[in-house]
Structure 1
Amino acid sequence: MAGHSKWANIKRQKAVVDAKRGKTFTQLSRAIIVAARGGVPDPALNFQLRTAIDKAKAASIPNDNIERAIAKGAGTFGGENSSLEAIRYEGYGPGGVAILIEALTDNRNRTAADLRAAFSKNGGNLGETGCVSWMFDQKGVCVLEKVVDEEQLLEASLEGGAESYEMTEDEAAEVLTEIANLEILSQTLKDKGFKVTDAELRWIPSNNVEVIDPDQARSLLKLIDTLEGLDDVQNVTSNFEMAENLMALSIV
């Protein structure tokens, strides 16, 4: 998980560049559509939808766009997004690193072709379903900011049914729990005064691959960057570990 957490920190430094591509708007709008379709189109009664809306607002997506995405998911708006479906793809990156890709697409063939091209151009291979997913467990993750008392965090995490937590950097923390317990944990942490900036489902690797070769590191980071740059891709998760100086190769 350390490698993934460090990669998440690197990605935050690139958020401004990603937002300029308009990709954030596309990703978050699609997440709202799928959340609204998968449950009640009322954020008060749908935790996944409420979380997606909170992320959209944090990214300064206009309320009109949010309402439109909810309507599309509920089937009361129509349009080109009505056929979006969630699909998980799996593959290997340079050095045998396992990669999981979560996508929302209205055209499976297009998405698979785009992913296959991204892998092949950057030293990886798009695999069959199940080839790497056995190395990951899906968990609920609450991301916190401004954690000044770790003992208080431990007590609140235990009360909320958490499995573990990890302090990251700049007084930030990530608290893990079972998927079905995510909403309870999030609310418990908020009730205890913690600032929960995100509550999401995440694939956590059960084993990690250390990447030490600079060329492999550069190719791997470029592959992940390319995958995340595809419009249909929502999330990319991998099981690599890498020194900070190699990680910095991705910052351009």
Structure 2
Amino acid sequence: MAGHSKWSTIKRKKGANDAKRGKIFTKLIREITIAAKTGGGDPEGNPRLRSAITAAKGENMPKDNIDRAIKKGTGDLGGAVYEEIMYEGYGPGGVAVLVETMTDNKNRTVADIRHFFAKSGGNLGEFGCVAWMFDRKGTLTVDKDAASEDELMDAALEAGAEDVVEEEESFQVITSPETFNDVVEYLEKAAVSFTGAELAMIPKNTVEVVEEQAAKSLLRLLESLEDHDDVQKVHANFDISDDLMEQLS
């Protein structure tokens, strides 16, 4: 969980501005669109769409934007046709990296991602080369001022969650993919507000990056990938000490 927690914390700290909000909306709209395309436009019968809508609401996306994205997916509105592709590779320090993309031009996307890996000293690998190092889990982010740890733990476990992990400024509620939506609904009814909800790839084990240049190159790679318009999510199994993070910042 450390790798996911570290990268999640970094992203939250670097992403709180309007320009990022625009990118976040773009990525969320694509996820809603393809979820509606593959599973239908009714969130009650489409768990992936429900998850995407929950994430969009967590970012305060207007309802009109969500509705338009669903209609694009169901074919009621025109728009670009996106393809889902997962890329896998190794970054600096031997860190495993998964890159979830949605693209209307896979040749452009793979060329850009390969360039990012090569520039950082890493390399893009074959399908399946690192995915086995991760488990897909549901995660909900709850600010510490929204609930006490004991209250959240009781509510989350009652709802069917697997664990609650404490971070610097928040708690992460961890669920299986199958119980994710049930936990979301339970916490909403229990008036526990959360700032993020998503299905993510959680590393089974982490690689500690101790060399400053490797850590700097790794973070630059992850940030470049996150900023790319075709990239939806980036997952990595690294851990960097708080002391080294302080030096890098």
Same fold (TM over 0.5): yes
1:78-93 to structure 2, matched below 5 A, reads 78-79=78-79, 81=80, 83-93=81-91
1:1-252 residue pairs with structure 2 within 5 A? 1-17=1-17, 19-20=19-20, 22-59=22-59, 61-79=61-79, 81=80, 83-145=81-143, 146-170=145-169, 172-248=170-246
SS in 1 for 2:68: helix
What letter is aligned with 2:66?
A: I
1:161 to partner: Cα distance: 1.6
Q: 1:20 to 1:239 in 2, by over 3 A?
A: closer
Structure 1 140/78 Cα, relative in aligned 2: closer, same or farther at 3 Å? same
CA contact (8 A) 1:51 1:198 kept: no
Q: Percent identity?
A: 50
| Structure 2 residue matching 1:128: 3-state secondary structure | coil
Deviations 1:207-252 (A, max 9, x none): 110001000011000000111111110000100010124335665x
CA distance in 2, matches of 1:202, 1:219: 23
Instruction: From the superposition, tell whether residues 239 and 109 of structure 1 become closer, same or farther in structure 2 (CA, over 3 Å).
Output: same
CA RMSD of aligned residues (A): 2.2
The size of the alignment, in residue pairs, is 248
Q: Structure 2: which 5+ runs fail to align? A: none
Q: Alignment partner of 1:195: what SS? A: coil
Q: Against the structure 1 CA distance between its residues 148 and 28, is the aligned structure 2 distance closer, same or farther, given a 3 Å change threshold?
A: closer
Once the two structures are TM-superposed, the CA of residue 118 in structure 1 deviates from its matched residue by 0.5
Name the SS of the counterpart of 2:98 in structure 1: strand
Q: For 2:212 and 2:38, how far apart are their aligned partners in 1?
A: 43
Whole-angstrom CA distance in 1 between matches of 2:72 and 2:247: 40
Unaligned runs of 5+ in 1: none
- Indicate conservation of the 8 Å contact 2:2/2:206, yes or no: no
TM-score normalized with structure 1 length: 0.89
